[in-house]
Amino acid sequence: MPVSDFQPVIGLEVHAQLLTQSKIFCGCSTAFGAEPNRNTCPVCLGMPGVLPVLNQRVVEFAVRTGLALECTVKKTSVWSRKNYFYPDLPKGYQITQYDQPICEHGRLVIDTPQGEKVIRVRRIHMEEDAGKNVHDASGGQSLVDLNRAGVPLLEIVSEPDLRDADEAVEYLKAMRDVLVYLGVNDGNLEEGSFRCDANVSVMPKGSSTYGQRCELKNLNSFRFLKQAIEYEISRQVDVIESGGKVDQETRLWDVNKGVTRSMRSKEEAHDYRYFPEPDLPPLHVSDAAIDAAAKALPELPRAKLTRFTSQYGLPAYDARILTAERPLADFFEACAAHYADAKKLSNWFLGELMRLLKEEGTPLSALRFTPAQLAELLGAVDKGTVSANAGKDVLGEMFRTGKAPADIIAEKGLAQVSDTGAIEAVVDDILAKNAGEVEKYRAGKKQVFGFFVGQVMRAMKGKGNPTLVNDLLKKKLGD
Amino acid sequence: MQLTDLTMLELAAKLAAGAVSSEEATRACLERIRQVDPKVRAFLRVDEEGALVAARASDARRKAGNPASPLDGVPVGLKDIFLTEGVETTAGSRILEGFVPPYDATVVRLLKEAGLPLVGKLNMDEFAMGSSNESSAYSLTHNPWDLTRTPGGSSGGSSAAVAAREVFGALGTDTGGSIRQPAALTNTVGLKPTYGRVSRFGIIAFASSLDQPGPMTRTVGDTAALLQLIARHDPQDATSAAVETPDYSADLEGGVRGLRLGVPREYFIEGMDPEVEASVREALREYERLGATLVDVSLPHTKYALATYYLIAPAEASSNLARYDGIRYGQRAKDARGLKELYAQTRERGFGPEVKRRIMLGTYALSAGYYDAYYLRAQKVRTLIREDFTKVFKDVDAVLSPTSPVPAFKLGEKVDDPLSMYLMDVFTLPCNLAGLPGLSVPCGFTKAGLPVGLQVLGRPFDEARLLRIARAYEREHDFFLRPAPLRG
């Protein structure tokens, strides 16, 4: 059977570092990039005698995420120990949640070529991150950096509802958008603060029994996720086609070779010996806390996108870009409150503003001008006070200096000449000087018109109101 | 009479009156240790300098009329399971040899804040796993009442040091009887508080859901005073109870008239030492004479306690001891090649046989496929054991029993017989499984002169009543006055 006769079945496990100030079980900072082992204390170093104390912010973030993903938030959940030896795991066990996670039975809607699709979320649980082993190539030594040990993580596990690599990528993007919107995660795949493992299996089309699955690791970009899943699907199909059996195992995505390779077989899999963490009582979340979190829930990306198309009459393309990040969407809405033509505003956002943000590498939070000032600039363009081109220069200047648009227009002399008399004088002058061209035009060579516009604008140093220049030229040429 | 013969409260009174200084008392302890510890071997480490500095600071506070607590200046010892900043702490294990903690356990901090000079670290069974102190990787501690016998365990260094009057009091920890059993075997008082009453932060964990630190002293009054300093909620221990601390000494002399005291039939078993039983029965009659009503009660699941304990405690221990991997602190196998060898050799050489036995037992009990049959089932039985007590405490105010089925046994006698060693805790460990407070108070001697202990168990957070019950008996006897002969 060819690949097309097989149905891939995919589930994703997302690990998202929570944006808390301190670690999950101690007061150490979660800041990224500190000198190795700087952000540590006896607790996250796993010293003898230490005990974990739960950071309540972590619970708040988990509840918020659970509600956003339409989960049931459990009023009682239980901490467990996952036991295994590794140098980056100071206590020899990870404190996590196992058979009683904080959230269950959620969903996330994604877009597919066939339309919207609901991907079920099986569970969300909280856990602590491990540290990092650093292998020193020169000295043959391995070093351990425990700055990351104890940084809070959410693990979000989907049901195996995804059917191809593109759906998996869509799901991961939608998940990232939600988490970033909620302010619980920075969505950074490259730095590993947002990561994912994929469980992939294939079965003959029409079958209702899932095939043996493999877990893929090291998928630290959307591109790698897609490539690894596609590779793995064809690998599994090949194994079955050649009469073999897919073994349950953990496989690592090899970025350089573009293949997945076996990391751990089922036999080598750890027996984690989970048991309830005796140092932490069961976690209780009150109805009041859940209600408060529900009330404080921001509008989510998908809802915002729908509203942007209906409320502002924007095309889906525009709405999608404008709502991709919450600060951009918020800024757009702040501007729209001062300026009625949402589509025109969107054009400026998608064009000039995003170009400037990208080129200057400025975050929106550091923007130097106000929504009202941007609206003022667009109004000036509409009124013809400045040309659209000059308006772009003004925006650039606002971006760099934070000066008011009116001041910039005045300082730089960018105001458009809309005085009919003044323009008429110039038009007359140009036509008089170019009598030969006027003859040609009148003889039917209409393309000379552009030449006249150019001459007038040049004489006016680009400040002539183009509509007026056009109108007057046409009138004088007898059109 | 020597200074070290005083009880904690007697010394505190003399310190308050200015009749003696803390430095004198501390020097008396240090001198006593020099004299008798070569025979008893209770101490792993004596912190002479630290103790004297603290004693002089205490004297300055007393002089300024500003004592930090009623026991300010009274020197005590610590089981080597309590982390002490800057002072080596090993839990009696080779694997922690040379480990100098960067922080103080909460109870250590509380004692320092209360002004008590900490004289040193006391021997114990390795990681508190044992009932005779013989699993210590460092030395053999001898019972001051008969130097050929065990001082009990795992807090055997603490019981021996108190009984030999090397310190005025000590702290121990109790996971299955490790405070009460050594107290019973050395004619001292030992209290295991309610689980959550005293902070576990900074105490080297054996079995997290069972461990609880507590005082070990010569009298009930001293235990009440020492408990007063350490019983409080600790935000650094999530299992610490936010329950107000009563004044444990206020009602100490209140007597037992009108109290209903349960005598569980499951705690008087065949095979227990007849002299122990006789002493305890005599104590029960004493309580009747003092006006209490004895009530025959049943704790039917007692027979499962030992098996339950030896699944839960090793399971938790197997996980708690995973951190001793040679990576960050303690001993590391120097010549290991590769990570697996590093782990294997470090732990092979660092842990003693009893610790290895329990790690393997616990690892097995938690393994995939066995978890439900062992660990989970043990937790269910644990609930039944707790419910036994809950039912009984609806009818009675406390439960009385022997602390240990036998008096101090010979060193070496049970070392090769772990099962008979485990039986030493048969009366003490149900209390840990149920999370209840329990204490042991001296109740006489065998003909051979070996101490016998009476155990008093109570409702959660009812330590004050247990102390009052124990004190009512102690007041009628002078066992605590008798000095240990320090002979073998």
Closest to A129 (Cα-Cα) out of A107, A111, A154 = A154
Yes or no: say if B339 and B119 are a contact pair by the CB < 8 Å rule.
no
Yes or no: say if B452 and B443 are a contact pair by the CB < 8 Å rule.
yes
Give the model confidence (pLDDT) of B383-442 as tens digits.
999 999 999 999 999 999 999 999 999 999 888 887 778 888 899 999 999 999 999 999
Yes or no: say if B416 and B357 are a contact pair by the CB < 8 Å rule.
no
A48 in contact with B, Cβ within 8 Å: yes
Chain A residues touching B83 at Cβ < 8 A: 47-49
Q: Which residues pair with A116 in a beta bridge?
A: A111
Q: How far is residue B295 from each of residues A320, B323, B408, B457, measured CA to CA in Å?
A: 77, 47, 29, 14
Identify the helix (H) or strand (E) that includes residue A141. strand A141-145
Give the model confidence (pLDDT) of A105-126 as tens digits.
999 999 999 999 999 999 999 9
Q: Do B319 and A83 touch (CB under 8 A)?
A: yes
Query: Beta strands B189-192 and B398-402: pairing type?
Result: unpaired
Check whether B290 has a pLDDT greater than 90.
yes
Give the model confidence (pLDDT) of B213-238 as tens digits.
999 999 999 999 999 999 999 999 99
pLDDT at residue B228, as a whole number? 98
Check whether A265 has a pLDDT greater than 90.
no
Q: How far is CA B172 from the centre of its chain?
A: 4
Give the model confidence (pLDDT) of A233-244 as tens digits.
999 999 999 999
pLDDT above 70: percentage of residues in chain A: 99
Q: What is the mean pLDDT of residues A458-467?
A: 78
Neighbours of A368 (CB within 10 A): 12
Chain B residues touching A52 at Cβ < 8 A: 238
Chain B residues touching A90 at Cβ < 8 A: 323, 327-328
pLDDT above 90: percentage of residues in chain A: 58
Domain limits at B87? Answer: 3-259+460-481
Determine, yes or no, domain membership for B369. Answer: no
Of B237, B328, B339, the CB nearest to A51: B237
Check whether B18 has a pLDDT greater than 90.
yes
Q: Which residue has the tokens 């080598």?
A: A268
Q: Please tell me the distance from the alpha carbon of residue A321 to that of residue A332, in angstroms, as a whole number.
A: 11
Burial of B488 (0-12, 13-18, 19+ CB in 10 A): exposed
Yes or no: say if A345 and A339 are a contact pair by the CB < 8 Å rule.
yes
Q: Please tell me the distance from the alpha carbon of residue B146 to that of residue B156, in angstroms, as a whole number.
A: 14
Check whether A336 has a pLDDT greater than 90.
no
Measured in angstroms, the CA of A147 and the nearest CA of chain B are apart by 14
A279 in contact with B, Cβ within 8 Å: yes
Tell me the pLDDT band of B286, cut-offs 50, 70 and 90: very high
B319 in contact with A, Cβ within 8 Å: yes
Helical axes A301-312 vs A165-182, angle rounded to 10°: 80
Q: Which residues pair with A97 in a beta bridge?
A: A79
Determine, yes or no, domain membership for B216. Answer: yes
Q: What is the mean pLDDT of residues A203-213?
A: 91
Of A54, A87, A271, the CB nearest to B368: A271
Check whether A394 has a pLDDT greater than 90.
no
Identify the helix (H) or strand (E) that includes residue A22. none
Residues of B labelled as active-site residues: 79, 154, 178
Amino acid at A45: L
pLDDT at residue A1, as a whole number? 62
Instruction: Evaluate the omega torsion of the peptide bond into residue B154 and state whether it is cis, within 30 degrees of 0.
Output: yes
Q: Does the CA dihedral B254-B257-B262-B268 come out positive or negative?
A: positive
Chain A residues touching B371 at Cβ < 8 A: 273-275
Q: Please tell me the distance from the alpha carbon of residue A321 to that of residue A309, in angstroms, as a whole number.
A: 12
Q: What is the domain count for chain B?
A: 1
Q: What is the mean pLDDT of residues A64-89?
A: 97
Of B89, B209, B321, the CB nearest to A278: B209
Q: Please tell me the distance from the alpha carbon of residue A202 to that of residue A239, in angstroms, as a whole number.
A: 11
Q: Please tell me the distance from the alpha carbon of residue B453 to that of residue B439, in angstroms, as a whole number.
A: 9
Q: How far is CA A249 from the centre of its chain?
A: 31
Q: Which residues pair with A260 in a beta bridge?
A: A253
Chain B residues touching A275 at Cβ < 8 A: 315-316, 319, 366, 371, 375
Pick from A78-82, A348-352, B159-163: least confident: A348-352
Tell me the pLDDT band of A137, cut-offs 50, 70 and 90: low
Residue B373 is given by DSSP the state: I
pLDDT at residue A192, as a whole number? 86
Residue B412 DSSP SS3 = coil
Check whether A326 has a pLDDT greater than 80.
yes
Q: Please tell me the distance from the alpha carbon of residue A51 to that of residue A70, in angstroms, as a whole number.
A: 33
Among chain A residues, the shortest Cα distance to B95 is held by A48
B371 in contact with A, Cβ within 8 Å: yes
> Mutating which of A279, A283, A284 best tests the B interface, going by the most B Cβ atoms within 10 A?
A279
B239 in contact with A, Cβ within 8 Å: yes
**Interface A-B: count of C-beta contacts within 8 A:** 100
Give the model confidence (pLDDT) of A293-313 as tens digits.
999 999 999 999 999 999 998
Give the model confidence (pLDDT) of A403-451 as tens digits.
888 888 777 777 777 777 778 888 888 888 888 888 888 888 888 888 8
Give the model confidence (pLDDT) of A44-60 as tens digits.
999 999 999 999 999 99
Measured in angstroms, the CA of A92 and the nearest CA of chain B are apart by 5
Q: Does the CA dihedral B303-B309-B312-B315 come out positive or negative?
A: negative
Pick from A81-85, A248-252, B152-156: least confident: A248-252
Yes or no: say if B458 and B396 are a contact pair by the CB < 8 Å rule.
no
Widest Cα–Cα separation across chain B: 70
Give the model confidence (pLDDT) of B114-142 as tens digits.
999 999 999 999 999 999 999 999 999 99
Q: Please tell me the distance from the alpha carbon of residue A449 to that of residue A431, in angstroms, as a whole number.
A: 11
A93 in contact with B, Cβ within 8 Å: yes
Amino acid at A50: V
Count CA within 13 A, CB hemisphere, residue A231: 20
Check whether A346 has a pLDDT greater than 80.
yes
Measured in angstroms, the CA of A49 and the nearest CA of chain B are apart by 4
Where do the structural domains in chain A lie, given as residue ranges?
A: 3-289, 299-411, 420-476
A420-476 has which CATH code? 1.10.10.410
Q: Do B368 and A93 touch (CB under 8 A)?
A: no
> Mutating which of A47, A268, A277 best tests the B interface, going by the most B Cβ atoms within 10 A?
A47
Q: What is the mean pLDDT of residues B326-342?
A: 91
Determine, yes or no, domain membership for B476. Answer: yes
CATH of the domain at B174: 3.90.1300.10
3-state secondary structure A370-414: CHHHHHHHHHHHHHCCCCHHHHHHHHHHHHHHCCCHHHHHHHCCC
Q: Do A87 and B325 touch (CB under 8 A)?
A: yes
A281 in contact with B, Cβ within 8 Å: yes
Q: What is the mean pLDDT of residues A166-178?
A: 96
Q: Mean pLDDT in chain A? A: 90
